Structure 1
Amino acid sequence: MIRVALPLMAASLALAVALPGIAMPGSSDAARFADAADAREALEAARQQQRNARARAERLERQSVRSEATADKAQADAAALAARVQQSEAAITAAEAELALVEGQRLALDRQLARKREPLMRLTAALQTMSRRPLALAALQPGSLEDVVHTRAALASAMPVVRERTRALRGDLDRARALEKSRADTLGSLRSAQASLTSRRKELVALAEKERVLARRAAGGASREAERALVLSEEARDLDALVGELELAGALRVRLAALPGPVLRPEEGKAAAPQPVAVPSPDSTEAPSRYLLPVAGRVVAGFGEASVAGSRTSGIAIAPRPRAQIVSPGAGRVAFAGPYRGFGSIVIVEHGNGWTSLVTGLGNVAVEVGQNVTAGSPLGQAPLRRPEIALELRREGESVNPLDHLR
């Protein structure tokens, strides 16, 4: 019976000593999430953001293929690549959440094995002591044969317990190996997503610059408009006043564009042909046909929530990844792009029909005043430290909840 116990002793000793020390580097990934429920929520959100970005990229890539105009094609290409960048960012967030979940399971398994190890070690030590005693010497000691009989009886009752505990530990070992494999697979996905993100960001920088050059050539008076926007930003008493002034300028520009063109001078001896007068149609009040959040992340402040100062928020705030890609929430024209006091770099996009979007908190800006953008066009990146991007949607100066218009 003692011989039978030796393999079980060796197995139980190896399991008890080795399992709690299984190394899984990178436990700092779990620090980004408060607990397992927070990590699961982040994982689900990241996977949904990944699916949305992939679908948007595929739609824009098809649109680029159909585009005949060079400017339209460049715009669609830049927006598609920005969506691919956001897809890679979401993949990284999902991988980090998966790593945090695996790490949490590993720590729980370590605690469970620590509770099992001490009694198992005592049992193993006792069995090893008994196994080292030669059976031949037992006959030379008084009462030793009786002790052997009692020992064999004790072992017979103890062996089922040893086998059961060894079986449970073997199950724990299999589970630990599965966790280790899951972590290795997730780390591989994380490295792949990081490499893809780096490559796509480089491509996007070059493509965004190309789109800016094309937009600059197409818009003759863009430089004067940019200078005027800069003057307005310096003169405006606050951000609301700046947006109001830009909305007035945009409305004036629309009215001027709707006026009939100059009438050609008639040839000598011929009367001027009557020209049709353009009658402006009633202004539409429809919101942008496609509207999306400018960045992937967690909404940390909702529309109308009370701020620390006691005022109500006029938009939403999103906490993204550092250097996350920021895109235009809807199609329109850039009315302002650059730094504004207290808000970091900001971008104001006029959508038409009196609708305006304001995106603040950018770390850098990739568009210029007067540039036309589509929903998803790259606007810039979030800052590296403590990023928080705010989005406001306004209809003729009145703030509305942007979440109500996502489509």
Structure 2
Amino acid sequence: MRRPAVIAGLLAAAWLGLPATAQAPARIDTVEDAQAALDAARQQQRNARARGERLEQRASRSRETAQKARSAAAALAARVQQAEAGIAAAEARLQLANSKRRKLDRELAARRAPLAHLAGALQSMTRRPLSLSALQPGSLRDLVYTRAVLDSTIPVVRERTAALRSQLDRARALEAEARAAVSDRRDSEATLLQRRKQLVALAAQERLKARQAAGGADREAQRALVLAEQAIDLDQLVARLESAGSLRKRLALLPGPVARPANPAAATISATPRPQPSATQPPQQYQLPVAGRISAGFGEAGASGQRQAGIALDARGSGQVVAPGAGRVIFAGPYRGFGRIAIVEHANGWTSLVTGLASLDVAVGQAVDAGSPLGLAPQQGGEVALELRQDGEPVNPLDYLR
């Protein structure tokens, strides 16, 4: 076959056969995972913003100083979690843009090969003067054939190049999206640093006020540490703390001394108040203590074969950990094998355990609201576990989220 016919065949094979033979496999699962992470981060960001606004309104309406301070601290903790979710969303946006860019690069690489063939063929044709085609036998026939093939191929070439230009525009848009995501991450990090400093100062003030207000808090904290040393495991520690809490409540229900009336004849025996029957209502506005993916569900078998008594969440490095519900801190400190833990006693016989903390911002005897700061997750990230118990029996915390 003569040279012009070979060039025409290359043009037709390169462009008309491209979609069927040169399509690279796309990693759709990676893009979908990045999109799912972005959706989850944005949802966490919206939830934290809503909690922050609600708690800020509660703090502004509250007339009680202690309640106002707790609501303000919880609102600030929610804003910290909002900033953390903003960082996670920016990272997910960057990951999504990079995933789409890698997929686009593979598609562009598949289109570069036929484009190189086309460029070479056109370059060969331009090097051949038309005057030589008139002198060489059969060249005019080949030239007519080549022109006919080009007339039918050029529209397809234009269509393919238009798609290629569109992909190049999309690549530039993905680069701009990646740069915007990096800028948003820097802004969220700056906001997080500022709010975390405010929260640390506010949490220190709350601990100091709690110790000054409760004279027996130090004795209760020492008793909790003794129980932690004596308990065989975490279950026994919770049981003993719950028993101590029940005793404290029964003592609080006992009648106090009756003041002597001015007129003894008018004195009447005051009726002993009877305790109300215990309700079973779970904590209101119950929430997860930290933002993160659930890595272990309730009842799942662990590495040792023992069933999970709660859930575990993969927390960000130094992520803000908050109280899952309103109540009273009955233990706060290190416990063997669980890092630093916080146990919150709720009303009606409910108890929450939060384990795996790197630092604690609460003390024993301190009252907390749902969302009050408890401490921070490990600096390098890790699992923060949550257990919810009703009268000592573990239940699934996810069933009580509000």
Instruction: Map 1:167-182; keep pairs closer than 5 Å.
Output: 167-182=162-177
Deviations 1:299-346 (A, max 9, x none): 111111122222211111111211111110110000000100000000
In the alignment, which residue of structure 1 is the partner of 2:276?
Answer: 281
SS of residue in 2 equivalent to 1:330:
coil
CA distance 1:175–1:270, change in 2 (3 Å): same
Instruction: Map 1:248-327; keep pairs closer than 5 Å.
Output: 248-265=243-260, 274-327=269-322
Deviations 1:106-139 (A, max 9, x none): 1111111111112211221232343345667777
Q: 1:104 pairs with 94, 99, 102, which one?
A: 99
Identical-residue share of aligned pairs (%): 60
Amino acid at match of 2:298: F
CA distance 1:265–1:34, change in 2 (3 Å): farther
Query: 2:329 touches 2:365 (CA, 8 Å); kept in 1?
Result: yes
| TM-score (structure 1 length as normaliser) | 0.85
Cα distance between partner residues in 1 of 2:29 and 2:392: 39
Amino acid at match of 2:167: D
In the alignment, which residue of structure 2 is the partner of 1:24?
Answer: none
2:230 pairs with 1:235: yes
In the alignment, which residue of structure 1 is the partner of 2:69?
Answer: 74
Cα distance between partner residues in 1 of 2:275 and 2:372: 30
Cα offset for 1:55? 1.1
Deviations 1:262-321 (A, max 9, x none): 233567988865434222221222211221111111111111112222221111111121
In the alignment, which residue of structure 2 is the partner of 1:341?
Answer: 336
Query: 1:208 touches 1:366 (CA, 8 Å); kept in 2?
Result: yes
CA distance 1:221–1:41, change in 2 (3 Å): same
Q: 1:127 pairs with 108, 122, 139, which one?
A: 122
| TM-score (structure 2 length as normaliser) | 0.86
Deviations 1:330-379 (A, max 9, x none): 10000000100000000000002111111111111110000000000000
Moved more, 40-49 or 314-323: 40-49
2:186 pairs with 1:191: yes
Cα offset for 1:156? 3.9
Amino acid at match of 2:311: I
CA distance 1:126–1:239, change in 2 (3 Å): same
Q: 1:223 pairs with 218, 221, 226, which one?
A: 218
Cα distance between partner residues in 2 of 1:349 and 1:83: 19
Amino acid at match of 1:69: E
Query: 1:71 touches 1:215 (CA, 8 Å); kept in 2?
Result: no
Amino acid at match of 1:101: L
SS of residue in 2 equivalent to 1:262:
coil
Moved more, 122-131 or 377-386: 122-131
2:363 pairs with 1:365: no
Deviations 1:214-244 (A, max 9, x none): 2122111111111111111111111111111
CA distance 1:154–1:44, change in 2 (3 Å): closer
In the alignment, which residue of structure 2 is the partner of 1:379?
Answer: 374
Unaligned runs of 5+ in 2: 1-27
SS of residue in 2 equivalent to 1:334:
strand
Amino acid at match of 1:314: A
Q: 2:42 pairs with 44, 47, 58, which one?
A: 47
Cα distance between partner residues in 2 of 1:401 and 1:51: 24
Cα distance between partner residues in 1 of 2:315 and 2:77: 15
Cα RMSD (Å):
2.5
Cα distance between partner residues in 2 of 1:125 and 1:328: 68
CA distance 1:150–1:45, change in 2 (3 Å): closer
Amino acid at match of 2:52: A
Cα offset for 1:182? 2.3
CA distance 1:285–1:165, change in 2 (3 Å): closer
Cα offset for 1:184? 2.5
Cα distance between partner residues in 1 of 2:117 and 2:262: 114
SS of residue in 1 equivalent to 2:121:
helix
Cα distance between partner residues in 2 of 1:78 and 1:99: 32
Cα distance between partner residues in 1 of 2:204 and 2:187: 26
Moved more, 300-309 or 73-82: 300-309
Cα distance between partner residues in 2 of 1:64 and 1:88: 20
Number of paired residues?
375
Unaligned runs of 5+ in 1: 1-32
Deviations 1:174-196 (A, max 9, x none): 22122222222322322222221
In the alignment, which residue of structure 2 is the partner of 1:16?
Answer: none
In the alignment, which residue of structure 1 is the partner of 2:157?
Answer: 162
